[in-house]
């Protein structure tokens, strides 16, 4: 399904002037040593450099450290897809995506929402909806999901992969039951749901303007602009094959930008046969640099997001047999030649950061909890069940330090009254023994200032049956908390 492009030489743009505009604010936000992160280099010319991330990998190192120190944007790889967010009609599950949103916000990262309307990773029930109801089901899904994340999303991929390679519309439930107008309908609904979010159409194999698919997407956007359908951006997924970045990529970005929209590189990777040869790794370094140059050459190209961080979390090995090594970090999360050339092309320094050398996996050591003094009344906990379905539920726990001493490292304990079980927790590490639950901080949310509320508060998905009452008592580092 992914076309092979002819390899051509890329036009090189002088970039020295970009260094002059190094933004101080970016340096403050991302205080990794020197101006050597991708985020800092991108910020110097106003570009966000993002990565697709997975909620269940947050806390793993060096993965999480790289995300925090190298990138200033994130896209949830799967957590905002229909399959996850509305697994049965009218039942919404935003827990995993909330985890990513809260992680991103606590690290000052922009969030691309991905994706509202897509034939793939669609909840199964949607395909059984009567044709006459599909439009309202689609609009309801867009509205519910965008409303949940309202104010938190920078750009939304409203519709994903709606075209075939020959430029015709892909046959799917939306196209077949609603007709050609479904894309415009989706964008109109999306604008109403969160007027401050920018709205993108996102697709692959549109990076070469000579392809029928690229031309079809261009015509659609042109007609949207002419008729007032709200669209702000086209996302170029950019799932490339080594040596085949289209030579006209920058020209294609510019052609779309000239329609009066932003352009973004939303799912960048560059795959090769594995094990990787050094020739291919070097070619990949050239490819990544060319992609950076293509974006920097177009003023309305404001984001480059790689589809993952390193080989262990890439979708490529599991999707394209015998292919891999498509990202900037290798199987041990060490930076590859592509990292250095991409950073240099963005205008950054060639200093290679040294992520913690482990062989992947592993979790961050948590700071030793400092017992807080003051006994009862030195903390306050607010436990909320945010949604509940069949046998599952999602809950969040807000923790406030009501003492006059900062907390560095915390451990929260409570008992579930009705046999509930935590199945997935974010912004914390959990152990559960029977009904007794202990949640401790992660590497990034150990501190709670005196009088302050924890920024990245823990949340979880759990299972329940019969009754789902909230716990009635909590202790934080041994002190009894007020229940708010
Ligand atoms: C991929 C994810 O990375 C995988 O984990 C999942 O199994 C399949 O989907 N185009 C898209 C992305 O728009 O959502 C896809 O992500 C990759 C192709």
Nearest alpha carbon, ligand 1 atom 7:
315
Identify the weakest region by mean pLDDT among 209-213, 310-314, 361-365, 453-457.
Answer: 361-365
Nearest alpha carbon, ligand 1 atom 16:
77
pLDDT tens column, 333-342: 999 999 999 9
Residue 71 Cα to ligand 1 middle (Å): 19
Q: What pLDDT is recorded for position 388?
A: 67
Identify the weakest region by mean pLDDT among 71-75, 78-82, 89-93, 424-428.
Answer: 424-428
Q: What pLDDT is recorded for position 373?
A: 40
Q: How is the chain split into domains, by residue range?
A: 30-346, 379-483
Identify the weakest region by mean pLDDT among 124-133, 357-366, 387-396.
Answer: 357-366
Identify the weakest region by mean pLDDT among 3-17, 135-149, 184-198.
Answer: 3-17
Verify whether ligand 1 is closer than 6 Å to residue 83 (CB atom).
Answer: no
- In order of 48, 101, 260, the CA distances from 215 in angstroms are 27, 34, 16
Please report where in the chains the tokens 């602009």 appear, as a residue: 225
Across 272-281, 416-425, 436-445, which has the greatest mean pLDDT?
272-281
CA dihedral 402, 407, 410, 414 (to 10 degrees): -10
Q: What pLDDT is recorded for position 136?
A: 98
Q: What pLDDT is recorded for position 433?
A: 86
Burial 153-175 (b: 16+ CB within 10 A, else e): bbbbbbbbbbbeeebebbebbbb
CB 411 within 8 A of CB 440: yes
Residue 235 Cα to ligand 1 middle (Å): 14
Burial 109-127 (b: 16+ CB within 10 A, else e): bbbbbbbbbbbeebbeebe
pTM metric for this prediction:
0.69
> What share of the chain in percent tops pLDDT 90?
70
pLDDT tens column, 292-317: 999 999 999 999 999 999 999 999 99
Confidence of residue 107 (pLDDT cuts 50, 70, 90): very high
Confidence of residue 19 (pLDDT cuts 50, 70, 90): very low
Residue 174 Cα to ligand 1 middle (Å): 19
3.30.70.2740, 2.60.40.290, 3.30.70.890, 1.10.150.530: CATH of 379-483? 2.60.40.290
Distance (Å, rounded) from C-alpha 441 to C-alpha 429?
A: 6
Q: Which atom of ligand 1 is nearest to the CA of 160?
A: 13
pLDDT tens column, 272-295: 999 999 999 999 999 999 999 999
Distance (Å, rounded) from C-alpha 384 to C-alpha 386?
A: 6
Q: Write the CB contacts of 354 (distance below 8 Å, at least 6 apart in sequence).
A: none
> What share of the chain in percent tops pLDDT 70?
85
* 345 has a pLDDT exceeding 50: yes
Q: Which atom of ligand 1 is nearest to the CA of 318?
A: 7
Instruction: Determine the residue of 75, 307, 324 to mutate for testing ligand 1's pocket, defined as the one with the most ligand atoms within 8 A of the Cβ atom.
Output: 307
Judging by DSSP bridges, how do beta strands 436-440 and 421-426 pair with one another?
unpaired
Q: What is the phi/psi pair of residue 407, to 5°?
A: -100, 130
Write out the catalytic residue numbers: 161, 267
* 354 has a pLDDT exceeding 60: no
Q: What pLDDT is recorded for position 334?
A: 97
Nearest to 279 by CA among 240, 322, 321, 337: 337
Check whether domain 30-346 has CATH 3.20.20.80, yes or no: yes
Verify whether ligand 1 is closer than 6 Å to residue 267 (CB atom).
Answer: yes
Verify whether ligand 1 is closer than 6 Å to residue 237 (CB atom).
Answer: yes
* 13 has a pLDDT exceeding 70: no
Instruction: Determine the residue of 268, 315, 326 to mutate for testing ligand 1's pocket, defined as the one with the most ligand atoms within 8 A of the Cβ atom.
Output: 315
Confidence of residue 350 (pLDDT cuts 50, 70, 90): low
Q: What pLDDT is recorded for position 444?
A: 67
Work out the burial of residue 232: count CB atoms within 10 Å of its CB; fewer than 13 is exposed, 13-18 middle, 19 or more buried: middle
């Amino acid at each position: 399904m992914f076309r092979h492009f002819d390899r051509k030489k890329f036009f090189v743009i002088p970039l020295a002037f970009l260094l002059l505009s190094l933004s101080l604010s970016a340096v403050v936000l991302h205080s990794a040593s020197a101006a050597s992160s991708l985020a800092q280099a991108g910020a110097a010319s106003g570009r966000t450099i993002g990565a697709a991330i997975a909620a269940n990998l947050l806390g793993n190192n060096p993965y999480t450290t790289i995300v925090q120190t190298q990138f200033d944007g994130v896209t949830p790889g799967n957590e905002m897809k229909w399959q996850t967010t509305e697994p049965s009609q009218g039942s919404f599950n935003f827990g995993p995506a909330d985890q990513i949103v809260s992680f991103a916000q606590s690290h000052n990262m922009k969030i691309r929402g991905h994706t509202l309307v897509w034939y793939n990773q669609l909840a199964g029930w949607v395909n059984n909806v009567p044709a006459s109801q599909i439009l309202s089901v689609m609009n309801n899904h867009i509205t519910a999901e965008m409303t949940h994340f309202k104010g938190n999303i920078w750009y939304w991929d409203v519709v994903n992969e709606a075209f075939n390679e020959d430029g015709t519309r892909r046959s799917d439930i939306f196209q077949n039951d609603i007709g050609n107008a479904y894309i415009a309908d989706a964008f109109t609904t999306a604008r109403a749901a969160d007027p401050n979010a920018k709205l993108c159409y996102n697709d692959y194999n549109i990076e070469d303007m000579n392809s029928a698919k690229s031309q079809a997407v261009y015509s659609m956007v042109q007609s949207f602009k002419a008729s007032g359908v709200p669209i702000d951006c086209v996302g170029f997924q950019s799932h490339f094959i080594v040596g085949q970045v289209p030579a006209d990529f920058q020209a294609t970005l510019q052609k779309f930008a000239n329609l009066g929209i932003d352009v973004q590189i939303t799912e960048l990777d560059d795959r090769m046969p594995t094990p990787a040869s050094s020739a291919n790794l070097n070619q990949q370094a050239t490819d990544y640099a060319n992609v950076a140059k293509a974006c920097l050459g177009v003023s309305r190209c404001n984001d480059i997001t790689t589809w993952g961080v390193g080989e262990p979390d890439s979708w490529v090995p599991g999707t394209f047999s015998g292919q891999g090594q498509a990202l900037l970090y290798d199987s041990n999360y060490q930076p590859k030649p592509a990292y250095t050339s991409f950073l240099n092309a963005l205008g950054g320094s060639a200093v290679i950061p040294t992520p913690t050398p482990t062989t992947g996996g592993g979790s961050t050591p948590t700071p030793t909890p400092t017992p807080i003094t003051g006994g009862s009344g030195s903390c306050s906990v607010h436990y909320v069940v945010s949604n509940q379905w069949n046998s599952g539920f999602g809950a969040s726990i807000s923790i406030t330090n009501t003492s006059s001493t900062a907390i560095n490292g915390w451990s929260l304990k409570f008992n579930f009254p009705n046999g509930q079980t935590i199945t997935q927790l974010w912004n914390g590490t959990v152990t559960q023994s029977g009904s007794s639950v202990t949640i401790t901080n992660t590497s990034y949310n150990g501190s709670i200032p005196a009088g302050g509320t924890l920024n990245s508060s823990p949340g979880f998905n759990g299972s329940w049956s019969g009754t789902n009452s909230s716990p009635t008592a909590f202790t934080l580092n041994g002190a009894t908390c007020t229940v708010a």
